[in-house]
């Protein structure tokens, strides 16, 4: 068997996800060993198994007893062993059931923590934000249209970055004067692979992991200050719920980190991805404008087409087998959401943007015990944004190629220039 093509190097994603390579792997090596060389100043790693078929991705995500989120956390690169106990405080890096985990905590709090946050992330609270999100979308889109120089605006800089950030900070209850901090912290964590974003380096000149305790100290201190403020001045927001909940200080800090980064960047990545897809497919956009297609169905297809997260890592708990490949305990297993969403075994004509596609079992929000808690909020924001974009910007065409984030984790778009009319 020939060596599998590389889908690890973040630079491969500068022009978009490598869909042709994903298909080659799905067809011939659906669970393929990937080397992990030094790239962009980050040290080499031991390698990992890349999982590219939909059925296998879902199997890994659902089987937390075999594929652990706690053993090595959920990023491809191994964290510093000294940081791992700290990283495991986050629900994302925990397993849902107690049980023996070599090197991991004997007991995980995933279920308890997820229930606590679910109470704060209520559908009623989310729905109350719809009118606010709609007004924000309309205001940002109108300003972008009216301020376009020579009829060209950047939908990322002018609309989607602010739209995602401001909606999240409203939901969290962050005061307006502090909102720029959340964007700064998000970019520090998400864009660390991108050469355009200068990395923070340590005394040895090597890049510092943006998820290390030292790099997150400022954010955590702010989370505690905000929680104290909410205890004195409660509001109808998630931080008020968390501040009055049954969370230890470390748990509250990690929730604030998770909500700030994941809550912001999910919509921040998906929103321009959907707008780009419609600009590249004017016939599909006309279907939406004419009412031939419902927004709810269209949003699901746009999420399949442009998943905000490209990959997530698990670690094999024990020796096992996946798609005929023997895996050893301790092996890294990385699922590729963007590949699963284009799997011909599940989606008819998967490389066609079909806004009427139903059913649409994409994995853009994950699956299993770690399925995205904020998916309902994200869907609402995306539906509202596209509804308002069709009204405010009835004519939209690309004015140049998008600039994409260099990352094998986040499917980000840094700039999307369009001609509006």
On whether the CB atoms of residues 272 and 156 are closer than 8 A, the answer is yes
Length of the chain: 421
Answer yes or no: is pLDDT of 136 > 80: yes
Span 10-420 CATH architecture? Orthogonal Bundle (1.10)
Query: pLDDT class for 101, splitting at 50, 70, 90?
Result: very low
Question: What does the pLDDT look like over 30-78, one tens digit per residue?
Answer: 999 999 998 776 778 999 999 999 999 999 999 999 999 999 989 898 9
Query: pLDDT class for 104, splitting at 50, 70, 90?
Result: very low
Mean pLDDT for the stretch of residues 328-341: 98
On whether the CB atoms of residues 420 and 143 are closer than 8 A, the answer is no
β-pair type (320-322, 413-415)? unpaired
What pLDDT is recorded for position 106? 40
What pLDDT is recorded for position 39? 78
Answer whether the bond into residue 173 is a cis peptide, omega within 30°. no
- Read off the pTM: 0.91
Per domain, the residue ranges of the chain are: 10-420
- Closest to 163 measured CA to CA, from 175, 173, 153, 155: 155
Phi, psi of 321 (to 5 degrees): -135, 140
β-pair type (332-336, 48-51)? parallel
Question: What does the pLDDT look like over 167-222, one tens digit per residue?
Answer: 989 988 998 888 888 877 777 766 556 666 655 555 555 555 666 666 678 888 99
Question: What percent of the chain lies above the pLDDT cut of 90?
Answer: 62
What pLDDT is recorded for position 374? 84
Chain-wide mean pLDDT for the chain?
88
What pLDDT is recorded for position 102? 46
């Amino acid at each position: 068997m020939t060596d599998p093509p590389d889908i690890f190097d973040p630079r491969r994603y500068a022009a978009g996800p490598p869909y042709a390579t994903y298909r080659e792997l799905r067809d011939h090596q659906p669970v393929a060993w990937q080397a992990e060389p030094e790239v962009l100043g980050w040290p080499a790693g031991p390698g990992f198994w890349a999982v590219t078929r939909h059925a296998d991705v879902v199997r890994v995500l659902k089987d937390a007893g075999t594929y652990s989120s706690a053993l090595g956390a959920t990023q491809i690169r191994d964290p510093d062993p000294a940081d791992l106990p700290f990283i495991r405080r986050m629900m994302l890096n925990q397993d849902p059931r107690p049980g023996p985990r070599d090197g991991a905590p004997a007991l995980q709090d995933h279920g308890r923590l997820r229930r606590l946050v679910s109470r704060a992330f209520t559908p009623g609270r989310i729905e109350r934000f719809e009118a606010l999100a709609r007004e924000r979308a309309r205001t940002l889109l109108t300003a972008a249209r009216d301020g376009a120089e020579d009829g060209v605006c950047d939908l990322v800089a002018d609309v989607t970055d602010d739209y995602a950030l401001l909606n999240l900070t409203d939901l969290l209850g962050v005061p307006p004067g502090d909102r720029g901090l959340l964007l700064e912290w998000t970019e520090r964590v998400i864009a660390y692979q991108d050469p355009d974003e200068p990395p923070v380096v340590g005394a040895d000149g090597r890049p510092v992991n943006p998820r290390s305790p030292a790099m997150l100290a400022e954010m955590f201190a702010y989370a505690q200050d905000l929680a104290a403020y909410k205890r004195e001045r409660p509001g109808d927001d998630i931080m008020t719920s968390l501040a009055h909940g049954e969370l230890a200080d470390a748990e509250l800090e990690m929730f604030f980190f998770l909500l700030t980064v994941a809550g912001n960047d999910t919509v921040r990545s998906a929103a321009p991805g959907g707008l780009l897809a419609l600009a590249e497919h004017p016939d599909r956009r006309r279907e939406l404008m004419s009412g031939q297609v419902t927004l709810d169905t269209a949003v699901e297809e746009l999420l399949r087409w442009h998943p905000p997260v490209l990959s997530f890592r698990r670690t094999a708990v024990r020796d096992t087998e996946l798609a005929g490949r023997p895996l050893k305990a301790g092996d890294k297993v990385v699922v590729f959401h963007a590949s699963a969403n284009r799997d011909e075994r599940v989606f008819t004509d998967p490389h066609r943007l079909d806004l009427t596609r139903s059913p649409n079992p994409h994995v853009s929000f994950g699956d299993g015990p770690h399925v995205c808690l904020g998916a309902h909020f994200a869907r609402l924001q995306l539906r509202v944004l596209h509804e308002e974009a069709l009204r405010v910007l009835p004519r939209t065409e690309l004015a140049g190629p998008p600039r994409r984030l260099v990352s094998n984790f986040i499917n980000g778009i840094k700039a999307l220039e369009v001609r509006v009319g």
